[in-house]
Amino acid sequence: MRKFSLLAISLLTSSVNAVQILPLKDHGTSEVLVSSTEHTRISVENDRIAQLFGMDGRLSFELDEMNGQVFITPTPGTEGHLLLITLTTEKGLTHDLRIKPTRKPAEAILLRTKTQGFYERFSPSESYQGLLLELIRAYTTQTFKDPYKFVAIKKGSPEKIAPDLTLHFIKEFHSPQFIGKVYHLKNEGNTTLLLSPHQFAKFKPLGIVFSTRVLKPLEQTEVLLILARSGS
């Protein structure tokens, strides 16, 4: 079975609040895009945020002590800048977040420890959200069984979705509710790019799975776009 490093997922369905799921590693670092105009909620699965450090005045924050979450808002004019904060949790974990404000809708950030695993957290469900997560699990573990079916596709030309980002369609699979389109995404520019769901907005995906969020010059990665089937 092919190993797949799942670093981030964004679910964009109307029935699920947009959320970025990032791995939480003690003394590790994650890079994330946040809205420059709206509050962004940060939480830790099965843990609580205890403290924040490194606030340099360009981020305002409110700590929700009851739920162990934090809401951050960049100050105007910080778009494109990298802001570093460090959080500690009640279970003793320390993690750095490299935050890049941008003009985009707010998405909640959920930090999940790697020991919890993504696949084991979700059991089969007939709910819309459960079916969507089951498709993601099949993709990340490469265990495609009924009702998932691969379909023949025509090889097309690469498509630019940003000045330095090119998509190359490689395969497609279907479930009764969804279409999964798998692409190679290449950074053809000279600077490192931080990938974000808003770069794929024109496809109107229900969900996106990235194998990495940081793409260095001339590197490529794989991305899955989940679309609704007609009538679903």
Query: Over the range 186-202, which residues count as b (16 or more CB within 10 Å of their CB) and which as e?
Result: bbebeeebebbbebbee
Whole-number Cα distances in Å, 95 to 81, 88, 99, 118:
20, 7, 13, 19
What architecture is the 16-116 domain classified under in CATH?
Answer: Sandwich (2.60)
Tens of pLDDT along 3-13? 443 444 555 54
Whether 122 has a pLDDT exceeding 50, the answer reads no
* Alpha carbon distance 122, 60 (integer Å): 34
pLDDT at position 138, please? 83
Strand partners, 225: 181, 208
User: If you compute the radius of gyration of the chain from its CA atoms, what whole number of angstroms results?
Assistant: 18
CB 44 within 8 A of CB 58: no
Lowest mean pLDDT among 47-51, 55-59, 94-98, 172-176: 55-59
pLDDT tens profile 180-222: 999 999 999 999 988 877 788 888 888 888 777 788 999 999 9
Handedness of CA 112, 118, 124, 129 (dihedral sign): positive
What is the tens place of the pLDDT at every residue in 39-62?
Answer: 888 989 889 998 888 766 788 888
Residue corresponding to tokens 């090119």: 166
Quote the pTM value: 0.52
Looking at the DSSP bridge assignments, the partners of residue 149 are 174
Residue whose pair of structure tokens reads 């931080």 in the numeric block: 194
Report domain extents, the chain: 16-116
